[in-house]
Structure 1
Amino acid sequence: MKAYVNAAPQDRSAAAEAWAASAPDEYACSGLGSASCIEEDAATRAPPGLSFCRPAPPGTPCRGGGGACTPAGCAPRQRAQPQAWQPQAQTQQPDQQQQPDQQQTQQQRRRRRRGLLDASAPGDAGASAGRWYDERFVDGYGYLKLKVGTKPSKARILPNFLGTSHEWGRLYEYARTGEALEAFAAIFRELGPNPVLRIGGRSQELLKAAPSDGEFEALRALSSKAGARFIIGLPLEPNDPGLAKSVMDKADAKLGGSILSFGLGNEPDMWDRRIGGYDAKGDWKSGFANYLTQFHRTANALSGCTRVPGGALPWVKDGGADIDPSKVPSGASDADGDGVADTLEFGGAAGPVGGGGDAGRTYDAWGGSVGGAAGGGPVGARSLGGSGRRLAGAAAAAAGEGSRARFIGPSWHDLKLTPFSLQTMARTGACYLKELSVHYYSYFGADQAHVQTILDESRLRDSVARFSALRMAATDLGLGLRIAETNSAVNGGRAGFSETFGAALWTADAAFEFARAGATGMHLHWGVGGDPERGGPAYVGVQTNYMGGDTSKPYPSVHAPWYGYLLFSEATRGDYVRFTYTERDPSSSCESSVKVWSLIGDPGRSGNTGPASNMLPPSTLRVAVINKDADRGCNVELRLPGADPKGHAELHWLWNSGGVAGDGVGVMWRGQTYAGTTDGRLTGQRDILNIAPAFQDGGEVVYKVAVPPGTAALLVTAAKIKE
């Protein structure tokens, strides 16, 4: 088996023949007797270490009829089959009296009853049935043993957490034709029932007038077809409140209730004059206090807030309409007053659930030092209805201003803003701020332009630690913190790795990291999406291309990073999804590049309903394993105390025939691909594999999955939530 599984797809037929000649009894029980599975391995370009061939069912004759196949190999017929290898669905023998369509319909019904399949999932009618994963480990792989609990963390992953970010300009392409609208709507629907698109970026600061009707009409069409909602970017750098108001008024008129919020300004620390702002006389002055003055004056005017709720602040004047920048405080770590920490020191360690969370992390804060407790999820995270927001909300309601909180900011270009500065902004904008926002990009030197750079674990952990400190500062005052713009590298990404499959693994892993750290959302930037002459940025998930070069016929061209969006969206799909706790066995040898994320929630159909009720299907435990190591696979043993001992699980595989450095042409998600498509839909037969427990150990149901290098797998099984 090892020689066959580890062979390249084009060499597997020869490996199978050699196996049959050298070990006929073992080969008879391997399931390779029919060439169909070998052909499918080649057709789907399954990478070394992964195969769709399954062992022969127990009892299959071997040794010339004198033996029978068992999970341990060919054995004499009198040998009893181990009980652990006889789960409920292991026989995988359909009723011969049923027609194929009837067989599949009954299988889907069983899966729906167990909460393993969304009844409205598109394309499932073409899914393969009765395919089972061979859980045998692969020699030479590392080993990872994890106990995965069903007790969830307090933090919920908000619906439609993962979104996109787009510059103003060429948005009209999404609805230029009916076919284009249908195709792009199909893309965005993969992100959830109400995907959130942030519109802005550098382009919002360069606006000379409100965007065209065509831009807004396209967004309205996406709202109608895909349920999309929007964060609309307004200019701040030009110091033209009238221009900002014209954009805001047009957006309200065209998009109405589909507007989630308005992003006032973009990356003020990267403005032409860097951080600063204009005073009431129109004179430019540097420093964070002057930026805050301009932001407050503009937001106050646009929102109609008449005073600062929550009590008087020493730096606020003119009844709340303006700020005295000389009185704006700065934290101890920001001696020069630019809002950026002079030294960045964040204690603790971020990482997958169970890895320590926010333990020991502190920051300059209103009211003293704040720390977190070890454990999973965004530890120490308070409800966004916490005391800070309740106090501000009560004051705003008293003033008749409760509905004026429509803005987000500051959309700082990195995570170096001090938590103290973020809190100063939150207190100042308590009337008009809906949430706070930052951006995040990885930064690389010229000698770091290779795919393993973005997969570097220490780089990501450091960024999550910085974000966690900011998130705690925001949450202390009752506001959420959104990553309004991010991607694998700055300035459109880096050719050679931002468009590779490695970027897909980074995307999924980063989304899990920041969701666990408590972000309210994360938006992958696409820039202009696509240009007839220049194409799109390297990191774009779905580029706008044109059929035959005809600019009147745009269509979505899916690139490798998009598949990472799909993995995360499937793992977090449902009504009330939270991270669970895991415990890593010290005997494990797989390195930190193998990440395991466990979540539990109620599948649901809409993703918009509240906590579980007795009308919903059972909860499902989802365990995502992401192997970012390009060279070494990992044998993963998952011990699930809360799983159904009489049930089974499903495996959703993500891999690329070209490895982590390959592009999107060879990427397969659950047996399907976007390669060669123009309609925004996956093509091919969906292949979600069944997997039976390897064995039971006391109250733990144990699953074994061999995860090849540079691949990812999602295991889903019915489970009960343990509060």
Structure 2
Amino acid sequence: MPLPRQTLSLAALLAGLAVLALVSEDLRASLNPAAAPGGRPAAPAAARADTARRRGLSAAQQAGPPAAAAAAAAAAPNAWDSFDLSTYRPPAAVEAGALYVNIYPSLPTSEEVAPDFIGTSHEWGAGLAALGADASTADAFASVFSALGRSPLLRIGGHSQEVLAAPPDERQWAALAALRARARARFVIGLPLAERGAPGIAAEMVAAAQKWLGDSVVGFELGNEPDMWTRRVGGWNDTTGEWQPGFGAYTHLFHETASRLGGCAAAPPAAAAAAATAAAAAAAAMPAAAMGDGIDAAQRARFEAERAETMKAYQSSLLAAMGAAAPPGGRRLSQASPAAAGAGAAPPRLTGSAAPPLEPGTGRRRRGRRKSAAVPRPGAGAGAGAGAGAGAALAAGNATERLWFLGPAWHNIYITPESLALLAQTARGCGYLRALTTHYYCWRCAEAIRAGAGIEALLDEGEASAAAARLRVLADAARQQGLPLVVSEANSLNNGGMRHFSESYGAALWTADFAFDAARAGVAGVSMHWGIGGDPQKGGPAYTGVQINFDKATGRPYPSVHAPFFGYLFFSHAVQGDGVRFVRSEADARAGGGCGASVKVFALTGDGVPSMSQPGRTVRVAVINKDVTRACSVTLTVAGAWGDGYAVWLLPGPEGLMSKGKVTWRSQYYEGTMDGRIAGAGLMQRYAPVPAQMAPPSGGGGAGGTAAGGGAATRYVFERLGPGHAVVLTAAAAQ
């Protein structure tokens, strides 16, 4: 759970740290367990809008909160907490004009995007065990995860993995095994690394994963946010046994632990060994400022002192939320029964990607890879990933039996590409590294909201574009090492999120927008963090997509779907099927505009849209209006001949982008449900294709005529896209 990158004044820095210390209070306030089924309060009565709390960001704020805003945040760091949703109504919409977008399906701009690109992240602890409290609960949560793809990915870990005093108890493994059996789930298992006893606990956790989950484990993430460890980045000196700071010591610790856990079966080739040795030496010589920890040198000493105290406060609240490592009366791991959880017989050794993956829902092994798995062996060398589907990297197979590891799970996206490269090169001799990982939270958005900005700050396009550009830099760096980049932990606002804002419909749009931006930038996958999930007393983090609520009569846990989860559904709908790639699109400047940068258009092609019964080659276009007040008409002109377009809509509740309830996807909803299944009849809207002509893309990009995007085209028109409205249109190639 990251702290902000420190480029602001010290006053703003300390304000952010103070909020982190109060995270347990935010957790208690974020859920009322006595709420109606579905976990949502009743819609408030009509009242006048609180327009003062909805002012927009200036150009200076878009570039980064200025000193004045930082000072205001320090003076009243919780001013945002006085927001009263019961008196809020969104402002009246303003007709802003029109947006014209040309789309060129024959010009791909990305590698393949996996249909299960967006996954979830969960802390170890009692909340994880609650996912499989009984068969009915496991079925309900399996329904939730199944909505994200044919084989959803759950990353288990976070700060909790670094504070484990013992391996997770059997209830947690049983819950994961139940999700494996019911939802065909796959897992990234977080292991501890920072403390002296970590390797022993990690080895026991690997054995437990073998026993319970078999080859549904795609890798082990070794350590969590080393740049936020209590001792900061470093490792234990082999000779003195003392802590040695620096990226070189950390890289050595990571390499030695992974090598011992996974084993280097044979001596690496001389060239690979020499390269690994050189990389380790370079890492050892790297100064702290060069790692990319994002801390301003002038503020470092004060930051370190304040951070240490704040992390202690957070750790105490997290340990309480996690619950006991081994519950009273609980069986020891050696007595556990994976079969009782529906996991079936586990293989004698965890094969990870070494064996063909399980055919979802059958227990049989697939013969041959699915289309999106055509990637080289992770760690195969510089540039090995070129031309492969980045989103399929975690599904790739290999002929050598081994354990796979992921890291460094850096706390923000400001780690330098050189640091990622050094970790990858150090690991190359043994070849155990499966992906490079980092985390992302929009801390600038949080600072702006604390300074008095409204939901507009969360959806600021300047920040979104900057994050996408940085992710592209890191993804390119990982690709040069033959590895994918995975954002293994992310969410809208850091430190558990903010009440009202992180749990709003606006957060759903943020989630979808971020996932599209990350996938287009070359990221292989994103896991949205749900923290502890929820418990009867303290609730759950505000940003949790699906919170764990507890039935008042029986105490049974059940999934309470919150507004942000609708963003997951929106994105997953657009990328379903095989061979999905982004394609070129550009605004038609000749036709005018007026809608602004807040209207985002993502164009993709792929093979079939299963949920819409559309076979063959399809185009799918996602349009998101992130603006709070401006409505826009959108005209899409798609090169080539396409059939009927079918649109499905994501729409806010009565409070607009601040809505917590009455959000709908395809006219469906989750209010009143306890089984994890969306309610209501799913609707789609037909858009007749209109023949049109279009010019080739600017700068060329292909052979002449239709192949390049010019000539005959098909047009679809959304006459009005209201504030906060989002739509996915899919169309199959004309016969």
Instruction: Give TM-score scaled by structure 2 length.
Output: 0.67
Inter-CA distance 641–213: structure 2 relative to 1 (3 Å threshold): same
- For the Cα contact (< 8 Å) 2:123–2:157, is it kept in 1? yes
Partner SS, residue 251 of structure 1? helix
Deviations along 1:130-158, one digit per CA (max 9) or x if unpaired, are xxxxxxxx993321001112113351002
Q: Following TM superposition, by how much is the alpha carbon of 1:496 offset from its aligned partner in structure 2, in angstroms?
A: 2.0
- For the Cα contact (< 8 Å) 2:290–2:416, is it kept in 1? no
User: Which of 706, 721, 724 does residue 707 from structure 1 map onto?
Assistant: 721
User: Which of 625, 629, 632 does residue 630 from structure 2 map onto?
Assistant: 632
Q: Following TM superposition, by how much is the alpha carbon of 1:174 offset from its aligned partner in structure 2, in angstroms?
A: 1.4
How many percent of aligned residue pairs carry the same amino acid?
A: 42
Residue 668 (structure 2) aligns with = 672
Partner SS, residue 167 of structure 2? coil
* 1:596 equivalenced with 2:610 (yes/no): no
Q: Following TM superposition, by how much is the alpha carbon of 1:424 offset from its aligned partner in structure 2, in angstroms?
A: 0.5
Partner SS, residue 271 of structure 2? coil
* 1:656 equivalenced with 2:615 (yes/no): no
* 1:252 equivalenced with 2:210 (yes/no): yes
- For the Cα contact (< 8 Å) 2:505–2:656, is it kept in 1? yes
- For the Cα contact (< 8 Å) 1:277–1:291, is it kept in 2? yes
Q: Following TM superposition, by how much is the alpha carbon of 1:490 offset from its aligned partner in structure 2, in angstroms?
A: 0.9
User: Take 1:600 and 1:327, find their aligned partners in 2: how far apart are those partners?
Assistant: 42
* 1:291 equivalenced with 2:250 (yes/no): yes
User: Which of 139, 142, 147 does residue 185 from structure 1 map onto?
Assistant: 142
Q: Following TM superposition, by how much is the alpha carbon of 1:280 offset from its aligned partner in structure 2, in angstroms?
A: 1.1
Residue 441 (structure 1) aligns with = 441
Q: Following TM superposition, by how much is the alpha carbon of 1:716 offset from its aligned partner in structure 2, in angstroms?
A: 1.0
- For the Cα contact (< 8 Å) 1:165–1:485, is it kept in 2? yes
* 1:159 equivalenced with 2:115 (yes/no): yes
The aligned amino acid for 2:113 is I
User: Which of 148, 169, 192 does residue 103 from structure 2 map onto?
Assistant: 148
Structure 1 window deviating more from structure 2 (176-185 vs 520-529): it is 176-185
The aligned amino acid for 2:494 is V
Structure possessing the higher radius of gyration over alpha carbons: 1
Length, aligned pairs only: 526
Inter-CA distance 568–309: structure 2 relative to 1 (3 Å threshold): farther
Partner SS, residue 603 of structure 1? strand
Q: Following TM superposition, by how much is the alpha carbon of 1:663 offset from its aligned partner in structure 2, in angstroms?
A: 3.1
Partner SS, residue 146 of structure 1? strand
Deviations along 1:243-275, one digit per CA (max 9) or x if unpaired, are 110011111111001101000000000011111
- For the Cα contact (< 8 Å) 1:330–1:421, is it kept in 2? no
Q: Following TM superposition, by how much is the alpha carbon of 1:308 offset from its aligned partner in structure 2, in angstroms?
A: 4.7
User: Which of 561, 575, 579 does residue 578 from structure 2 map onto?
Assistant: 575
Residue 160 (structure 2) aligns with = 203
Q: Following TM superposition, by how much is the alpha carbon of 1:173 offset from its aligned partner in structure 2, in angstroms?
A: 1.3
Q: Following TM superposition, by how much is the alpha carbon of 1:642 offset from its aligned partner in structure 2, in angstroms?
A: 2.4
Inter-CA distance 440–579: structure 2 relative to 1 (3 Å threshold): same
User: Take 2:196 and 2:283, find their aligned partners in 1: how far apart are those partners?
Assistant: 20
* 1:497 equivalenced with 2:501 (yes/no): yes
- For the Cα contact (< 8 Å) 1:630–1:659, is it kept in 2? no
User: Take 1:391 and 1:424, find their aligned partners in 2: how far apart are those partners?
Assistant: 12
Structure 1 window deviating more from structure 2 (677-686 vs 400-409): it is 400-409
The aligned amino acid for 1:531 is D
Deviations along 1:568-609, one digit per CA (max 9) or x if unpaired, are 0000010111111112111222111100001111126599xx
Residue 565 (structure 2) aligns with = 562
User: Take 2:536 and 2:732, find their aligned partners in 1: how far apart are those partners?
Assistant: 47
The aligned amino acid for 1:601 is G
Map 1:390-539 onto structure 2 (within 5 A).
Answer: 390=381, 402-404=400-402, 406-430=404-428, 431-443=431-443, 444-445=446-447, 446-447=450-451, 450-539=454-543
Let me know the Cα RMSD of the aligned residues. 3.0
Structure 1 window deviating more from structure 2 (298-307 vs 513-522): it is 298-307
Instruction: Give TM-score scaled by structure 1 length.
Output: 0.68
- For the Cα contact (< 8 Å) 2:110–2:583, is it kept in 1? no
Structure 1 window deviating more from structure 2 (275-284 vs 511-520): it is 275-284
The aligned amino acid for 1:228 is A
Residue 551 (structure 2) aligns with = 547
Choose between structure 1 and 2 for higher RCO, CA contacts under 8 A separated by at least 6 residues: 2
Deviations along 1:669-708, one digit per CA (max 9) or x if unpaired, are 1111001111111111211111213553462221110210
User: Take 2:628 and 2:440, find their aligned partners in 1: how far apart are those partners?
Assistant: 25
Inter-CA distance 406–711: structure 2 relative to 1 (3 Å threshold): same
Structure 1 window deviating more from structure 2 (382-391 vs 467-476): it is 382-391
User: Take 2:537 and 2:505, find their aligned partners in 1: how far apart are those partners?
Assistant: 25
Residue 380 (structure 2) aligns with = 389
- For the Cα contact (< 8 Å) 2:96–2:631, is it kept in 1? yes
User: Which of 615, 618, 641 does residue 617 from structure 1 map onto?
Assistant: 615
Partner SS, residue 302 of structure 1? helix
Partner SS, residue 618 of structure 1? strand
Q: Following TM superposition, by how much is the alpha carbon of 1:658 offset from its aligned partner in structure 2, in angstroms?
A: 2.5
The aligned amino acid for 2:151 is N
Q: Following TM superposition, by how much is the alpha carbon of 1:449 offset from its aligned partner in structure 2, in angstroms?
A: 5.9
Residue 311 (structure 1) aligns with = 271
- For the Cα contact (< 8 Å) 1:643–1:718, is it kept in 2? no
Partner SS, residue 484 of structure 1? strand
Map 1:35-434 onto structure 2 (within 5 A).
Answer: 140-151=95-106, 152-169=108-125, 170-240=127-197, 241-281=199-239, 282-305=241-264, 307-308=267-268, 311-312=271-272, 328=283, 336-340=289-293, 385=376, 389-390=380-381, 402-404=400-402, 406-430=404-428, 431-434=431-434
Inter-CA distance 556–315: structure 2 relative to 1 (3 Å threshold): same
- For the Cα contact (< 8 Å) 2:247–2:284, is it kept in 1? no
Q: Following TM superposition, by how much is the alpha carbon of 1:404 offset from its aligned partner in structure 2, in angstroms?
A: 2.8
Q: Following TM superposition, by how much is the alpha carbon of 1:383 offset from its aligned partner in structure 2, in angstroms?
A: 8.6
